[in-house]
Structure 1
Amino acid sequence: MKQEPGFLHILGRVVLLLCMLYFSWGAAFYITKAVYARIAWAPHGLIDFFINTTLGFVFFGIIGMTISQLFGDRNQHVFTEMIDALKRISQGDFHVNLEWGFDGRKEGQGRPHPYAQLADSINDMAANLKAMEELREEFISNVSHEIGSPLTSIMGFAKALKDDHLVREQRDRYLTIIETECLRLSKLSDNLMKLAVLDSERHSFHPSPYRLDKQLISLILACEPQWEAKNIEMDVEADETEVNADEELLGQVWVNFLHNAIKFTPEGGSISVFLSSNGDEAVVCIADTGPGIDEQDQERIFERFYKADKSRTRTVGGSGLGLAIAHKIVDMHQGKIAVHSRLGEGAAFTIELPVQIRE
């Protein structure tokens, strides 16, 4: 909505206009007076008035045109710079930073100069597009790396299988590695598709009432073969809690955290799962006795493709997308995730969800 100019702004323009008129008529008066004295002519008062008035308006027009030309040239320069900047942005050059001396100028009731607002908007747009381009390049680089690694492995072992002198045990081992890498690629593709759908508006989000405690216990039992194979002690305490949420999406969150806890918990360790509710909020805490997460990595573990421990992830697999998916789903449910961990002391993830999603 367009804002009307303030009183001080209007008053300033009126004063400027009057000063120009007074200067023009004053100049006309003294010039005609000098001319009359030079030619020794004393015109009638009415004629003198008409001459002074006409000459004053001529001077006023000249001054107005001069000022308009000066500021018009500057405005033209400003708009040319802005158009050039927009062209550079459209061509993929986001290193744009327009700087003009409009910051100190105010218009109306303390509002920034419109040119300053426009320049700031262009600078902000360029900065945002630059950040998005950097994220896109990093994303492509990460995807290329994650895909390239298993493909190289598959290619190498497939080539080795051509050796007719391989014994059965070696052949089976190579085939198992190829199968594992294919599953890794399939999981990566599936996770990328999940993120793409969650980021878009195409995903169907259907919250409905259901028992969160029953869902957690069911998923923990489904993972029983995995934690029993590592002799992990599972401690579960779940209060009866009903939430209004998308059961399928939240199921992906719990499966991700449970699988990570089992994956990083050493043989004979323990995992704790606690669910509590205060009526307005449900809190789920999943803690393990694994190697923990360094403090400097804790702020970045929910970034896509970020791996807190590069050596550890090489041995246990993973693409660094699971936590990003979980974080996205929790955000969709208006919840939040916190991590508490120290190296060598395990990690605890706390997920807080509103029992009823706010409109």
Structure 2
Amino acid sequence: MLYLTVISIIVALFFLTRLFFIKREIKRVTNQLTQVNRFQTDKKIDHTFFEKDLEKLASEINQQMDITMQAYAEKRRTENELKQAIANISHDIRTPMTSILGYIQFLESDDLSIGQRNEYMAIVKNGALRLKVLLEDFFELSIIESTDYPLKIESIKLNQLIPEVLVGFYEAFHQRGLEPILQLPEGEITIKADSSAVKRVLENLLSNAIKHSAGNVTIRLEKRQSSVQLTIRNPAGQLTEKDLFLFFDRFYKADKTRTGKGTGLGLSIAKSLMKKMNGNLTAELQGDQLMMKCEWRGK
């Protein structure tokens, strides 16, 4: 009987001691979390504990803290991007609107000649068309980035699609005195994507290249081991690595002096469309050459 009593006391002391340490460690975790929640520290929870299950809990808490910090950083980045987008769109709307209103006041004058009146009307029309393009691009981007944006995924023969799109830019190349250099493989290259979305991506990339290129534009299509890659290359000595980092931001224009030459949304639209099709669009500099690369994984 005495033996059982002693054993019971030892067992009870063991569990009481274990409970004491567990409660102390729980209190330590609580204190650390309290400091984090009160923004008194950004230090993670200690991993060394008497109880292994508490170590696992601390590890999961730390992972959740990492996720929360990443979400907070993404939230701040998105907020800053939104603020910049609002500032940019306000500027891009205000500039032609001010011009339109100014010339409308001129048009109200009875002293204008027919030539002056026609000139001012042309300026007002151009300003209105610029506003129309800006609002259409902004609306298109917002639709593309919505979760329910419709895509019709089908087999597309890029060897045929690229020349079809390129023909539509003949006059634009001619006006800039540029020549498109088309490099297509002999074999047929097929991808799974949305035909209209791929055309829109190509149109935006070609428009960007023609507007800002310092020389001829090269369009190269190639089949790689696990992907299909389309590269549009053009001389762009004015660009820097800093420009590439911001290239796909909404309204970003590397050349700030090109007022009225575009909305700054074309590359953002192309990037969003590529993501929707599970593809990727990147930009890189090789010397003075800007390389815009579209990549589709698989067939």
Shorter chain as denominator, the TM-score bin is 0.7 to 0.9
Query: Following the alignment from structure 2 to structure 1, what is the Cα–Cα distance between the partners of residues 119 and 10?
Result: 91
Do residues 319 (structure 1) and 263 (structure 2) align?
yes
User: For residues 1-359 of structure 1, what are the structure 2 equivalents within 5 Å?
Assistant: 18=13, 102-103=45-46, 106=49, 107-109=51-53, 110-113=55-58, 117=62, 126-239=72-185, 240-265=188-213, 269-278=215-224, 280-311=226-257, 313-314=258-259, 317-341=261-285, 345-356=288-299
Q: Is the 8 A contact 2:252 2:264 kept in 1?
A: yes
SS at match of 1:132: helix
Query: Following the alignment from structure 1 to structure 2, what is the Cα–Cα distance between the partners of residues 281 and 153?
Result: 48
> CA 1:80–1:181 in structure 2 vs 1: closer, same or farther (change >3 Å)?
same
Residue identity matched to 1:18? L
CA apart distance, 1:263? 1.6
Query: Following the alignment from structure 1 to structure 2, what is the Cα–Cα distance between the partners of residues 147 and 254?
Result: 26
Task: Give the number of equivalent residue pairs.
Answer: 283
- CA deviation map 1:303-352 (0-9, x unaligned): 111111211x22x6112111111112222233333334368x45332222
Q: Is the 8 A contact 1:338 1:349 kept in 2?
A: yes
- CA deviation map 1:231-290 (0-9, x unaligned): 322221223322211110010110011112222235xx4222222224642221222245
SS at match of 1:318: coil
Residue identity matched to 2:189? T
* Percent identity of paired positions between Structure 1 and Structure 2: 23
SS at match of 1:165: coil
Query: Following the alignment from structure 1 to structure 2, what is the Cα–Cα distance between the partners of residues 98 and 123?
Result: 13
Residue identity matched to 2:75? L
- CA deviation map 1:176-205 (0-9, x unaligned): 222222222212212222221221122112
The runs of at least 4 aligned residues of structure 1 exceeding 3 Å deviation read: 14-17, 19-22, 70-82, 96-107, 112-132, 289-292, 340-343
SS at match of 1:319: coil
Gap regions ≥5 residues in structure 2: 1-8
What TM-score, normalized by structure 1, do the two folds share? 0.66
Residue 48 of structure 1: aligned partner: none
- Greater relative contact order, per chain length (Cα 8 Å cut-off, separation 6+): 2
Query: Following the alignment from structure 1 to structure 2, what is the Cα–Cα distance between the partners of residues 291 and 101?
Result: 46
Residue identity matched to 2:89? V
Residue identity matched to 2:292? F
> CA 1:98–1:172 in structure 2 vs 1: closer, same or farther (change >3 Å)?
farther
CA apart distance, 1:137? 2.1
> CA 1:276–1:79 in structure 2 vs 1: closer, same or farther (change >3 Å)?
closer
Query: Following the alignment from structure 1 to structure 2, what is the Cα–Cα distance between the partners of residues 274 and 121?
Result: 40
Query: Following the alignment from structure 1 to structure 2, what is the Cα–Cα distance between the partners of residues 15 and 180?
Result: 92
Q: Is the 8 A contact 2:279 2:297 kept in 1?
A: yes
Residue identity matched to 1:283? Q
Residue identity matched to 1:296? K
Query: Following the alignment from structure 2 to structure 1, what is the Cα–Cα distance between the partners of residues 57 and 154?
Result: 48
Q: Is the 8 A contact 1:284 1:350 kept in 2?
A: yes
SS at match of 1:339: strand
Residue identity matched to 1:333? M
> CA 1:323–1:80 in structure 2 vs 1: closer, same or farther (change >3 Å)?
same
Gap regions ≥5 residues in structure 1: 1-13, 23-63, 86-95
Residue identity matched to 2:263? S
Q: Is the 8 A contact 1:188 1:319 kept in 2?
A: yes
Residue 6 of structure 2: aligned partner: none
What TM-score, normalized by structure 2, do the two folds share? 0.77
Larger Rg: 1
Q: Is the 8 A contact 1:293 1:342 kept in 2?
A: no
Query: Following the alignment from structure 2 to structure 1, what is the Cα–Cα distance between the partners of residues 114 and 45?
Result: 78
Residue identity matched to 1:262? I
